[in-house]
Chain A
Amino acid sequence: MTSKTYCWALIDAMREEMERDPNVFLIGEDVGPAGGAFGGSRGLLKAFGPLRVRDTPISEEVIVGLGVGAAMTGKRPIVEVMFIDFFGICLDQIANQAAKMHYLYNGSFKMPLVIRTMVAAEMGIGPHHSQSLEAWVGHVPGLKVVMPSTPRDAKGLMKSAIRDNNPVIFIEHLGLHRMKEEIPDGKEILIPIGKADVKRIGRDLTVVATGLMVGKALLAAEQLALESIEIEVIDPRTISPLDIDTILTSVRKTHRALVVSSAHKPFGFGSEVSAELMEHAFFHLDAPVGRLTPPFTPQPFGKGFEKFLHPDADRIAAKVREMLR
């Protein structure tokens, strides 16, 4: 066993898959000699050379586009769009081209494309680098969307994403990059896409949390345990296709559900989970499904704004207590 950071777990995943399959390659801004804007591709250029690990111009539409065309013609590209906020300038290639290529041409093309990107909510980088926009892509059929919250999940999901024959939006959280976890050496780790993980078993209420919120929910669970409140914490890990069955099983046991997310409430991930629970677990619920998210504002920069806006362990615990009252 070796202790690995989330960031190095991702690098290991890419290295292992690039060793395994010569069709895998990585492009993006600063992925080459710089080793990634946040160190997410260190060592790969040296290991695989300048054709398979390549810096691009700052041109997100063609970065994603290059991946689409390469995937159509037999490659398994990983393309990096540094922040998910930048999807605004490449969404055509993601939502109209990559997502529909297999469907539109009736299976003539596969689209084994990984779009590696990052949410950096609460990292002090202002309104254009802090949004949690997974709903933009979760809304589009043909895309898969994953959002790991631990190093092991990051590694296993990255490896699965690279092997998947569909476009996978791989959303990291910058705030997790230094998180450490023991990961066994020399053992293949593949986390299936579309499979949620119960991060803590409980009986009183189910918290469904994503990304950075998973850790906060687990901290809240420890606080609450001191009060003999046992919450179950579920990390869906995959946003689309959502493993609603694992969530339903939990809610049928706990009869209460709270969704905690860095994304906004309207039309967001929490709304989706809540609607699924209404459709499939209504008669099991003892309380309305709760959603805890930042308020519906852009992310301002100044000190104090993030703490004010985003859910934390205390607020999650308070919300749980309120729902159990």
Chain B
Amino acid sequence: MASIKKPTSEKVLKSTLTAGLSAQEGLDLYTRMLEIRECEAQLNSVFAKNLFPGYIHSYLGQEACAVGVCSVLRTDDYIVSTHRGRGHYLAKGMALVPMMCEMFGKANGICGGRGGEMHAADPALGILGGNGIVGGGIPYATGAAYSAVLDGIDRVCVVFFGEGASNQGSFHEALNLASAWSLPLVFVCENNLYAEMTPFKDSVRVVDVSARAHGYGIPGVIADGTDVLAVKEAATAAVDRARAGQGPTLLELKTYRYGGHFQGDPCNYRTREEEQEWQSRDAIFRLRRQILAQGLQKEATLEDLELRMAATVAEAIQVALDSPDPEPSSALLNVYAD
């Protein structure tokens, strides 16, 4: 990969589904994760050069979560995202250039530059927005799921959030209502260990967010968020259950945020050793190794893909940098709908 160096020490961890991985599936998952990785890595460089307007909440390290979950969704399924949403948007299929332009607040961004780094949406792809409020998306995800119930369509909604949001009342209210009403909603908690800059373990008595599911009478499942195939397997079960009208699942993905809460956060609340330990399990390198070990793709094919992806993302960022800012007076439009 062009922008990310291979970890110095690489852990060899077994994946759950290696045996059944097809060449196409492996390539698709790899491509999606690579796209997110390149975006996040290159955006960090742009930020470091002071060319990014605002803050970056990097998804670096969590790619397998979004990609594994969204790989089992249909186009008409809904997702609700967070302040750390680029991975979710791309995994659900949002076009790269309009998304990138939105991140830079440009006129040709997918929301006309109004959302910026924490917000993007595309109703045609079921992408119902990000959020600037931790836990703010969880309540309204229930409504998207209820729309499907009212319409009698087997559509599901997936709501992403972090372990920090699991301490908001909104999480508990939504989990309870979704359980009581058997809504087709999957709660996906990406537990990256840090709620902004506070270790999760200092804020709760339980070890696992998923343990909270039991109090609401629904399955609480843990999957390795650094293994895209494990994520996909767990998400398949949760989505199937929701689609069959059997109600929600709380799926906790154990993962790690390589960067800080935002770029520039010095991460003085965690150790470099811990960071290296997690990076040694890197999801993208793990999948790459599996693909090669099983002979599903030639290394030259992957290298070619990696170079092309790096170039595609670089081009998207350049388009965003070169794009016009929104017309300032357009701020007055669309306050109310007709």
- The chain A residues found within 8 Å of chain B, CB to CB, are 23, 25, 51-52, 54, 56-57, 59, 61-62, 64-75, 77, 89, 92-93, 96-97, 101-111, 141-142, 144, 165-166
Say yes or no: A69 contacts B334, CB within 8 Å. no
> How far is B147's CA from A57's CA once the two chains are assembled, in angstroms?
18
Say yes or no: B147 contacts A69, CB within 8 Å. yes
> How far is B131's CA from A62's CA once the two chains are assembled, in angstroms?
16
> How far is B147's CA from A74's CA once the two chains are assembled, in angstroms?
8
Say yes or no: B140 contacts A69, CB within 8 Å. yes
Q: Which residues of A contact B141 (CB under 8 A)?
A: 65, 69
Which of these, B136, B146, B173, contacts A97 with CB under 8 Å?
B136
Q: Which residues of A contact B112 (CB under 8 A)?
A: 106
> How far is B301's CA from A21's CA once the two chains are assembled, in angstroms?
54
5 further interface pairs, Cβ-Cβ under 8 Å (given A68-B139, A69-B146, A102-B335): A59-B177, A66-B146, A72-B123, A72-B143, A104-B114
Say yes or no: A69 contacts B115, CB within 8 Å. no
> Can you name the residue of chain B whose Cβ is closest to the Cβ of A23?
B150
Given A103-B334, A166-B336, decide whether A65 and B174 contact each other with a Cβ distance below 8 A. Answer: yes
- In B155-181, the 8 Å CB interface with A consists of 157, 169-170, 173-174, 176-177, 180-181
* B132 close to A (CB within 8 Å): yes
What's the minimum C-beta distance from B54 to chain A, rounded to whole angstroms?
15
What's the minimum C-beta distance from B301 to chain A, rounded to whole angstroms?
37
Which of these, A51, A68, A108, A110, contacts B140 with CB under 8 Å?
A68
What's the minimum C-beta distance from B61 to chain A, rounded to whole angstroms?
27
Q: Across the A-B interface, give the 7 residue pairs with the lowest CB-CB distance, nearest first.
A: A65-B139, A69-B143, A69-B140, A70-B143, A59-B173, A62-B173, A73-B147
* B142 close to A (CB within 8 Å): yes
> How far is B20's CA from A158's CA once the two chains are assembled, in angstroms?
57
- The chain B residues found within 8 Å of chain A, CB to CB, are 78, 80, 111-112, 114-115, 119, 121-123, 128-129, 131-133, 136-151, 157, 169-170, 173-174, 176-177, 180-181, 334-338
Q: Which residues of B contact A97 (CB under 8 A)?
A: 131, 133, 136-137, 139-140
Say yes or no: A104 contacts B119, CB within 8 Å. yes
Say yes or no: B142 contacts A69, CB within 8 Å. yes
Given A62-B173, A165-B337, A165-B338, decide whether A105 and B144 contact each other with a Cβ distance below 8 A. Answer: no
> How far is B147's CA from A56's CA once the two chains are assembled, in angstroms?
16
Selected A-B contacts with CB under 8 Å, 5 pairs: A65-B138, A74-B147, A89-B169, A97-B136, A110-B337
Q: Which residues of B contact A65 (CB under 8 A)?
A: 138-143, 170, 173-174
Say yes or no: B177 contacts A56, CB within 8 Å. yes
Most chain A beta carbons < 10 A, residue from B114, B140, B146:
B140
Say yes or no: B123 contacts A109, CB within 8 Å. yes
> How far is B213's CA from A37's CA once the two chains are assembled, in angstroms?
31
Say yes or no: A62 contacts B111, CB within 8 Å. no
Given A72-B140, A97-B140, A166-B337, decide whether A62 and B128 contact each other with a Cβ distance below 8 A. Answer: no
Say yes or no: B147 contacts A142, CB within 8 Å. no
Which of these, A23, A61, A106, A166, contacts B170 with CB under 8 Å?
A61
What's the minimum C-beta distance from A85 to chain B, rounded to whole angstroms?
17
Which of these, A105, A142, A165, contacts B119 with CB under 8 Å?
A105
What's the minimum C-beta distance from B332 to chain A, rounded to whole angstroms?
10
